[in-house]
Amino acid sequence: MTMKRKKPLATVNRLEDIPSFSSQDEEHAFWSTHELSDHVWEQGQPLKPGELPPPRPGTTAVVIHLDEPTLRRLKALARRRRRAYQELLGELVREQLEHEERKRRRLAGGSSAR
Protein backbone atom coordinates (compact mmCIF):
# COMPACT_ATOMS: atom_id res chain seq x y z
CA MET A 1 0.00 0.00 0.00
CA THR A 2 1.43 3.39 -0.95
CA MET A 3 1.12 6.19 1.55
CA LYS A 4 0.11 9.60 0.33
CA ARG A 5 2.59 12.26 1.41
CA LYS A 6 1.08 15.46 2.65
CA LYS A 7 2.49 18.65 1.24
CA PRO A 8 4.16 20.86 3.84
CA LEU A 9 1.98 23.73 5.00
CA ALA A 10 2.82 27.26 3.89
CA THR A 11 3.87 29.37 6.88
CA VAL A 12 2.18 32.68 7.65
CA ASN A 13 4.83 34.97 9.13
CA ARG A 14 2.73 38.13 9.53
CA LEU A 15 -0.88 38.59 10.60
CA GLU A 16 -1.31 40.97 7.67
CA ASP A 17 -0.79 38.01 5.32
CA ILE A 18 -4.00 36.34 6.50
CA PRO A 19 -6.75 37.21 4.00
CA SER A 20 -10.32 38.16 4.81
CA PHE A 21 -12.60 35.20 4.21
CA SER A 22 -16.02 35.42 2.64
CA SER A 23 -17.12 32.00 3.88
CA GLN A 24 -16.24 29.27 6.32
CA ASP A 25 -15.38 27.02 3.37
CA GLU A 26 -12.89 29.59 2.09
CA GLU A 27 -11.32 29.90 5.52
CA HIS A 28 -11.13 26.12 5.89
CA ALA A 29 -9.43 25.79 2.49
CA PHE A 30 -6.84 28.41 3.48
CA TRP A 31 -6.00 26.90 6.88
CA SER A 32 -5.79 23.38 5.45
CA THR A 33 -2.74 24.59 3.49
CA HIS A 34 -1.27 27.20 5.88
CA GLU A 35 -0.01 27.44 9.45
CA LEU A 36 1.12 30.28 11.72
CA SER A 37 4.83 30.70 12.41
CA ASP A 38 6.10 30.50 15.98
CA HIS A 39 6.80 34.24 15.77
CA VAL A 40 3.14 35.00 15.04
CA TRP A 41 1.98 32.68 17.84
CA GLU A 42 4.29 34.47 20.29
CA GLN A 43 2.71 37.83 19.39
CA GLY A 44 -0.69 36.61 20.60
CA GLN A 45 -2.26 38.14 23.69
CA PRO A 46 -4.66 36.38 26.07
CA LEU A 47 -8.29 37.11 25.32
CA LYS A 48 -10.41 39.03 27.77
CA PRO A 49 -13.70 37.52 28.91
CA GLY A 50 -16.40 38.16 26.32
CA GLU A 51 -13.97 38.67 23.40
CA LEU A 52 -14.81 35.37 21.74
CA PRO A 53 -18.04 35.09 19.77
CA PRO A 54 -20.74 33.00 21.40
CA PRO A 55 -20.50 29.26 20.78
CA ARG A 56 -22.38 27.78 17.88
CA PRO A 57 -25.82 26.46 18.71
CA GLY A 58 -25.74 22.91 19.94
CA THR A 59 -26.40 20.02 17.64
CA THR A 60 -28.22 16.78 18.17
CA ALA A 61 -26.79 13.52 16.93
CA VAL A 62 -29.12 11.56 14.66
CA VAL A 63 -28.79 8.20 12.98
CA ILE A 64 -29.59 7.93 9.29
CA HIS A 65 -29.16 4.98 6.98
CA LEU A 66 -27.64 5.59 3.56
CA ASP A 67 -26.96 3.02 0.88
CA GLU A 68 -23.26 2.46 0.15
CA PRO A 69 -23.20 4.24 -3.24
CA THR A 70 -24.80 7.36 -1.73
CA LEU A 71 -22.38 7.35 1.19
CA ARG A 72 -19.40 6.97 -1.18
CA ARG A 73 -20.65 9.92 -3.26
CA LEU A 74 -21.13 12.04 -0.13
CA LYS A 75 -17.64 11.24 1.16
CA ALA A 76 -16.09 11.94 -2.26
CA LEU A 77 -17.79 15.33 -2.42
CA ALA A 78 -16.71 16.12 1.14
CA ARG A 79 -13.08 15.26 0.29
CA ARG A 80 -13.19 17.57 -2.74
CA ARG A 81 -14.51 20.36 -0.52
CA ARG A 82 -12.04 19.47 2.28
CA ARG A 83 -14.84 18.99 4.78
CA ALA A 84 -15.97 16.26 7.12
CA TYR A 85 -18.74 14.34 5.40
CA GLN A 86 -21.03 14.67 8.44
CA GLU A 87 -20.64 18.45 8.34
CA LEU A 88 -21.33 18.51 4.60
CA LEU A 89 -24.42 16.34 5.06
CA GLY A 90 -25.80 18.78 7.63
CA GLU A 91 -25.15 21.67 5.25
CA LEU A 92 -26.88 19.88 2.36
CA VAL A 93 -29.91 19.14 4.54
CA ARG A 94 -30.13 22.79 5.68
CA GLU A 95 -29.85 24.04 2.07
CA GLN A 96 -32.57 21.68 0.87
CA LEU A 97 -34.85 22.67 3.76
CA GLU A 98 -34.40 26.36 2.89
CA HIS A 99 -35.16 25.58 -0.77
CA GLU A 100 -38.34 23.69 0.16
CA GLU A 101 -39.47 26.45 2.53
CA ARG A 102 -38.94 29.15 -0.14
CA LYS A 103 -40.88 27.05 -2.64
CA ARG A 104 -43.74 26.58 -0.15
CA ARG A 105 -43.86 30.35 0.57
CA ARG A 106 -43.94 31.11 -3.17
CA LEU A 107 -46.80 28.69 -3.69
CA ALA A 108 -48.69 30.03 -0.66
CA GLY A 109 -48.19 33.61 -1.85
CA GLY A 110 -49.37 32.79 -5.37
CA SER A 111 -52.55 31.04 -4.26
CA SER A 112 -53.61 33.89 -1.94
CA ALA A 113 -53.44 36.41 -4.81
CA ARG A 114 -56.41 34.76 -6.57
Residue 27's pLDDT is 92
pLDDT in tens, 26-76: 899 999 999 999 999 998 888 888 888 887 777 888 999 999 999 999 999
Would the pLDDT of 1 be above 60? no
Q: How many CB atoms lie within 10 A of CB 36?
A: 19
**CA-wise closest residue to 30 among 17, 13, 44, 14:** 17
Complete DSSP assignment for 36-51: E-HHHHHH--PPPTT-
Residue 14's pLDDT is 92
Query: Any idea which of 15-24, 34-43, 103-112 has the lowest mean pLDDT?
Result: 103-112
Ordered by start, the domain boundaries in the chain are 9-43, 63-114
Contacts of 84 (CB under 8 A, 6+ apart): 78
Residue 114's pLDDT is 47
Would the pLDDT of 79 be above 50? yes
Instruction: State phi, psi for 26 to the nearest 5 degrees.
Output: -65, -40
Say which DSSP state 84 is in.
-
Would the pLDDT of 89 be above 60? yes
Q: State the average pLDDT for the chain.
A: 88
